[in-house]
Structures are given as structure tokens and as C-alpha cells.
Structure 1
């Protein structure tokens, strides 16, 4: 009698949700970039205030680190996450090296987002609504992926660590909230009223 391997439905569903939200944010940023190119000097639709806008980010060198607009990375990268999510939900089994490569990609995206957060808060002194949407899904995706790679045996062969990681997955939402709180605290300490601006945008 063979033991059926877990399908990790919850993780797969999250990858799909995150990919859709992240791709949509990248798509909106791409549209805003095209608008700025066609209408120099005009304000984008996501311009809320001097502090909460996309314009400054999109027009900065940080907005095109690799020689093209950063949202293009999101348009392509989130599609890979979407395919991976669908595959996980479908129960597709990947070799350890494939999961390792996926982990490297997610880690690279997380590091890049952390750098963009730092640049937005401390260099540009501007918070981009669509950028923040990207941050909001990249952070939990990274946390969940690290925990998943521990529990599925990619990062360790210890059964004890894998079992502990399985239980740790339930704490991903709390760890995400803590990460969000750190970003908010960074913005507040830098003189950017993130909570006030977001509340003003919503209400």
C-alpha cells in the first residue's frame, strides 16, 4: 500500500490568488507608464497626493533598474507563479531541483521588493498605490514559499523539521501582518503617514 503525497491545496490556491493580484497591479502600472510616455507632465489616475502616487516612482531610475520599466518584470514573473499555483492545485509533482529554482525566483522577487520599499520610503519619499499592492502579495508569497520548501523536503531532509514547517504554515498570516507592520513603521518613522494616506484614499 502506497502513501498518497499531499497536494498542498492551500499553498497552491494562494499562489494563484497572489499571481492574479500581482499581475493586475503590474498591468495597471504598465498602463500608467504608457500614459506618462504619451502625456508628459500629466498626472496618472493613481495620483492621490504628493506622497501617494505612481508618477514619481515610474519616472525615477529606480523604476527601470534593468533598463526597462519594472512592471514588465511583474507581468512575466507573476505568470510563472500562476502556472506553479495551478500545477500545485492539480497535484503535479516537481523534482527537488525545480522547487529550489522556484524558491530562488521568489527570493529574488522578495529581495527586489524590499529594495524598492527602501527606495520608495527613504529615497523617493513617495508611496505608490500599485507598488504597495505588489508588496502586499510578494511578502506573504515569499514567507509561505520558504515554509513550503521546508515542509516538502526541498531545503531539508529532516522529518522533524518538515513536520515543524507543516505546523508553521498556519502562522504565515501572522508573520505577514508583522512584516506589514514593519513597513508601516518604517514609513511613519521616515515622516510618511502611510496609514493616513491609505485611509484617505479608501474613504
Structure 2
């Protein structure tokens, strides 16, 4: 028995024609809504805590639990405003868009190839940015933010499922074997991705976790 990826209501085994518009199944749509909501929640909480830190430098965020899980250390770092504005403010917009796409799919919307590829590019940027932030958190800032981890997880899941969606419909060229894998085992990709991150976190602070 295999676990299948969220099916799309316009799924075709051999892919869709370049000009065709496709939608997404309910499970796929809800995946976008829930991951977008998780990222939006994380961005909202971090933004509020960031404002409180600006008002009171002695403020301690509720998720600052110990020297490793220290949201305050992450929020006060230079990396927390990589583009000049606090990173979570970007998340408020980006995750809101993801929720809107998921809700549109639930309503029966269908989008052309260029739309899906643009959406995929956005999730790719999100994963790349999260990967940079992960590296900075582990090896430069030397602290983790739990709300950031929630946003990372949401972004990774949505990226792999949107990519698999585009592969299945032929919007991203791939051999038949890869399309079949994207259809049946999409869940493996985010699980492996998140597993690698978990191992990096575990080994980075092994002495702390085991002390």
C-alpha cells in the first residue's frame, strides 16, 4: 500500500498541454491553506515580539526558553532584517498569498502554466531564504527560534508539494519515473528534508541536549 500525494482535480498522467489551466484537489488546497496559516501565525507572533523588543530592550519573548531556544537572540540579530525590514513582515505578505491560492483552489479556480511556475518560483525563493536563515541560526547566531522553525517547516512542505504538482502536470519537464514518484511518494521529499534539518540541529547542540 502506498501513500499518495494530494490529487489535483485536473490530473493527467502524461502532463498538461502548455496552454491548459489546471486546479488542485481539496487535499492539496487545504495543504496550502494550513501551511500558509502556520507561516502567517509564526510571522505575526514574531512581528509582535519584534515591536515589543523595540519598545523595551529588556523584553523577553515567551519562546526564549534557554540559551539554545532563544527567540530574542534571533530577533535581535542582523540576519533578522535581511532586506532592511524585519523578515516576518515579508512572511505576512508571502504566507497570505499562499492562503489565497489555496482558498481559490477550493473555490474551483484553475491557473495556467505561467502562474504555477511563478508560484513555484516563490516557494523556491522561500526555501532558499529559509535555508540561509537556518545556517545563520545554527552556525552564526547559535540560537533557535521556535516560531521560525514553524515557518521553515511550513515553507518546506508547501515547496515540495507545489513542485510535485508542477511535475505531475508537465509544467516542469521530468522523466516518467520522476512523474510517477511525484504522484505516489511526494511526502517522502519533505520528510527527508525536515529529517536532515533535525539531524543538523541535534548534532549542532548534541552536548546541550544530552547534558
Taking structure 1 as the reference length, the TM-score comes to 0.86
Give the paired residue count.
191
- The answer on 1:87 being equivalent to 2:104 is yes
- The answer on 1:121 being equivalent to 2:138 is yes
CA gap of 1:181–1:166, structure 2 versus 1, over 3 A, is: closer
- In structure 1, distance between residues paired with 2:174 and 2:193: 28
Output one character per residue of 1:64-87: Cα deviation in whole Å (capped at 9) or x when no partner: 000010000110000110011111
- In structure 2, distance between residues paired with 1:111 and 1:194: 28
| Alpha-carbon distance, 1:160 to partner | 6.7
- In structure 1, distance between residues paired with 2:138 and 2:118: 30
**Aligned match of 2:156:** 139
User: In 2, are the aligned partners of 1:23 and 1:78 still within 8 Å (CA)?
Assistant: yes
Q: State how 1:1-203 maps to structure 2 within 5 Å.
A: 5-6=10-11, 7-156=24-173, 162-169=179-186, 172=187, 174-191=188-205
User: In 2, are the aligned partners of 1:187 and 1:194 still within 8 Å (CA)?
Assistant: no
- In structure 2, distance between residues paired with 1:37 and 1:79: 25
- In structure 1, distance between residues paired with 2:180 and 2:194: 27
| Alpha-carbon distance, 1:192 to partner | 5.3
| Alpha-carbon distance, 1:176 to partner | 2.4
Deviates more, 1:68-77 or 1:136-145: 136-145
User: In 2, are the aligned partners of 1:51 and 1:192 still within 8 Å (CA)?
Assistant: no
Find the residue that maps to 1:182 and give its secondary structure.
Answer: helix
| Alpha-carbon distance, 1:115 to partner | 0.6
Aligned structure 1 segments of 4 or more residues deviating by more than 3 angstroms: 157-164, 192-196
| Alpha-carbon distance, 1:153 to partner | 2.2
- In structure 2, distance between residues paired with 1:19 and 1:193: 34
Output one character per residue of 1:7-65: Cα deviation in whole Å (capped at 9) or x when no partner: 42211110000111110010000011011001112212221111112111111110000
| Alpha-carbon distance, 1:108 to partner | 0.2
Q: What RMSD over aligned residues (CA atoms) do the two structures have, in Å?
A: 2.2
| Alpha-carbon distance, 1:113 to partner | 0.4
User: In 2, are the aligned partners of 1:46 and 1:53 still within 8 Å (CA)?
Assistant: yes
| Runs of 5+ unmatched residues, structure 1 | 197-203
| Alpha-carbon distance, 1:5 to partner | 2.7
Taking structure 2 as the reference length, the TM-score comes to 0.82
Find the residue that maps to 1:67 and give its secondary structure.
Answer: coil
